Amino acid sequence: MCGLAGIWYRDGQAVNHADLKRMADTLRHRGPDGEGFWRENNIGFCHRRLSILDVSARGTQPMSTPDGQLHLVFNGAIHNYIELKRELQALGIVFVSDTDTEVALWAYRVWGKACFERFNGMWAIAIWNSEKQELLLVRDRFGIKPLYYSIRSGRIAFASEAKAILGVFREESTINEDELLGFLHGATTDTSDCSFFRNIFQILPGHMLIIQRDTTHTEKYWRFVPGTEIARPDIEEEFLALLDDAVGLRLRSDIPVAAMVSGGLDSSSVALLAAARIAEPMQTFSLKYDDPAIDESHYASMVLEKNGNLLPHFFQPPRGPLLETIRKTTWHHDAPCPSRGRYAAWHLMQETARYSNVILTGEGGDEILAGYGRFILDAMLDRWRLESASSSQIKKELDDLTAVTGESISHLVTHRMKQKFFTSILPVVDVLTPDVKSRYRKKKMSDCASPYRSRLNNSLWHEFTVSGLPEVLHHFDACTMAFGIEGRAPLLDHRIVELMFSLPFNEKIRDGWTKSLLRRAMKNILPEPIRLRRHKLGYPAPLNAMFRVPEHAAEIKSCLLDGEGVRQGWFDRKSLERKMVTRLQPGRANNPEVLWRLLSTEFWLRDFIADNADN
């Protein structure tokens, strides 16, 4: 796990080492263990290393083939590198390190672009072919690792984070108004190849960008075709075997691997399967709060009691550095971001980094297993339409829905939708200037096919590819790499993902239970109170109360009313004061998600737009 960047001047201009050094320094947090550079006239790579496999100097990047034809920088982890290495050795390849980086380099040399379909893992890779004068930028199937690029005239720049490009090419610090307006109007982020900067883009998941002296084109290499909905015998055993193997692959490391344990189904399953595979104790990290309304530590404790090989670390995030946390989180995202668990996750990762630099997590489980309550309506409609459910079955489904959500179907459809609309979107819109409101055009998400017969599978496919997982993974990378942590997500093993998107809808939601297949597969492994949990909070934090703390309220007032958002004409000062700031008094209602969204935008404008424009 690392940070990478590079520059290619297609017009022949020489690459300056100082520019590469500046890019590497910007990415220092991603790779605190060392740096490396390679230049060849008008092209150059730089790399910051987080040493996990073969921590010796033999793993230094950029890495080249002995004949000097191929040069590679790599961020991520190829979890099946041992198996691939054996294949390559059988073909006569001689390795000089025990890294997955060298395996990736030789795999491309031997198999070409077809090698990426053989990889099991997460990656952002840049490869320069000196003979062809060709630059290849490629990203893993699901976009777990980021890769940004900018093309202007004859110059190509790329990096793990947009800020590394901005640090050298300040002309790229120009706002992508469509992205910012969409964010302020409540739209999901990371729905396309665009970034919040007008001329900085990201390689799409499962794609590669091939750049030659006179041409640039994109190819998709992930060949999975959704649409199959076929029931499989013994699916619980098949799923569990795959998940167990995925966990085993992600335990490969030359430094200790730890695990996040939230007390939910996903992280608890991963941690218990991991603990059963290793002899030495495994560190775990969990949240703990004094407030029982948001404390889930008793569930995490059940996991730890189930296997004594799991060593607990419980941590309560501080209530003090609220605005500082929002600003740092925004900086590491390179973009304004919603709150959605970020405060607690940020501080938990900061604590985790004191003990471990590799962690297993449950990311991806909600998106492939239908873990969110909003998917239940789709599953109900599928059952009525595709299974011709009887009236008694329909009544049971309604009862199950009420049990899962704690609300009636009418309440779920009307009250929750109204609440989301009026408290999450309109207050942000209300504080925008008339000019900004007039420029807004509804954000168009990337096209997403509906290849399934069932509504639920189509919703999950959309969630996975466009409207949910991309933003989750942006946060996952930004929050872990801010502290030099490699986060590994076994549930996003491509074999599991492809299996889940080949199954009927009722393997995911059945008899009123979300994540039905995982619950069934983990019987006798998970503690029953966790296996049968109906509700999960995620990464909660008492933001509502924190925003009302007098010193925080004063900071927010100063920050928003006299900030860049007002100065640059995005926020209307009077509306901000009347509709936001005055509500920060004790006893007044406020919406922490809206305030976070406004503050994150303010800090992004300060740190990425105003500062760069002044230099």
Residues 6+ apart with CB under 8 A from 422: none
pLDDT over threshold 50, residue 421 = no
- Beta 43-49 vs 121-129: how paired, if at all? unpaired
pLDDT over threshold 50, residue 42 = yes
pLDDT over threshold 80, residue 84 = yes
Q: What is the mean pLDDT of the chain?
A: 91
DSSP state of 374: G
pLDDT over threshold 50, residue 64 = yes
Q: Which residue has the tokens 């995925």?
A: 246
The dihedral built from the CA positions of residue 102, 105, 111 and 114, taken in this order, carries a sign that is positive
315: phi then psi, degrees, rounded to nearest 5:
-140, 135
- Beta 43-49 vs 2-9: how paired, if at all? antiparallel
pLDDT in tens, 537-551: 888 899 888 888 888
Residues 6+ apart with CB under 8 A from 252: 53, 79, 81, 82
Q: How many CB atoms lie within 10 A of CB 176?
A: 17
pLDDT over threshold 50, residue 423 = no
CATH 3.20.20.70 given to domain 2-220: no
Measured CA distances, 63 to 15, 32, 100, 408 (Å): 18, 18, 11, 59
Q: Which of 612, 614, 474 is nearest to 166 (CA)?
A: 612
Q: Which residue has the tokens 């790329």?
A: 158
Instruction: Give the pLDDT confidence score for residue 416 in this predicted structure.
Output: 44
Instruction: Give the pLDDT confidence score for residue 470 in this predicted structure.
Output: 96
The pTM (predicted TM-score) of the whole model is: 0.94
Q: Which of 340, 348, 343 is nearest to 316 (CA)?
A: 348
Q: Left, alpha or beta for 334 (phi > 0: left; psi -120 to 50: alpha)?
A: left
- The superfamily (CATH) of domain 235-371+454-531 is HUPs (3.40.50.620)
Q: Where are the domains positioned within the chain? A: 2-220, 235-371+454-531
Q: What is the mean pLDDT of residues 264-277?
A: 97
Structure-model confidence comparison of residues 269 and 418, the more confident one? 269
pLDDT over threshold 70, residue 443 = no
498: phi then psi, degrees, rounded to nearest 5:
-65, -35
Strand order in the sheet with 43-49: 35-40, 43-49, 2-9, 155-159, 148-152, 201-202
Calpha distance 372→369 (Å, rounded): 9
pLDDT confidence bin for 409, thresholds 50/70/90: low
Calpha distance 477→470 (Å, rounded): 11
